Amino acid sequence: MGFWDQLRARTSELNDQLQVKTAQFKNKEFANGAMAMCALVAAADGSIDPTERQKTAALIMSNQSLSVFDADDLRQKFDWFCDKLNGDFDFGKVEATATIGKLKSKPEQARAVVQIGIIIGGADGSFDQYEKAAVKDVCFAVGIDPSEFDL
């Protein structure tokens, strides 16, 4: 199986697992962590261009695993994190990572947020080195071994 087929299969598998888990994790901390993760992946290369931001927002809104949350709330939180990252990337990264870090004491929720990052990163068929690094940094922030996700 080729690399892209493996990535697509892995993304599909993660998405199926998330659909079950997110219904259990329907809380503000998880939603905030998920949107912080999405913004970090979108900004992984150091900036978020408007097209990338719009594409990521569309992926968030269409993602079945996030459908348990109010779409407008998710969009507002995603935009808030994107604005922070665009305004001052380093500070925004610290703030987004700290938000996700609040899930460290909830390992199942932390894993689900990491899975969301992988799904968003691989949704365009290319999970690039910057996106992998962003997800890997989050793994360290929540105390998860990145090798658990082949990072």
pLDDT per residue over 50-108, tens digit each?
888 888 888 888 877 788 889 899 999 999 999 999 999 999 999 999 999 999 999 98
Report pLDDT for 52.
Answer: 81
Query: Whole-model pTM?
Result: 0.83
What are the DSSP calls for 116-129, one per residue? HHHHHHHTTS---H
**Alpha carbon distance 138, 96 (integer Å):** 9
Residue 8 CA to residue 15 CA, distance in Å, equals 10
Sequence spans of domains, the chain: 3-149
CATH 2.60.40 matches 3-149: no
**Per-residue model confidence as pLDDT tens digits over 11-29:** 566 556 655 555 566 789 9
- Asked if residue 143 has pLDDT above 90, the reply is yes
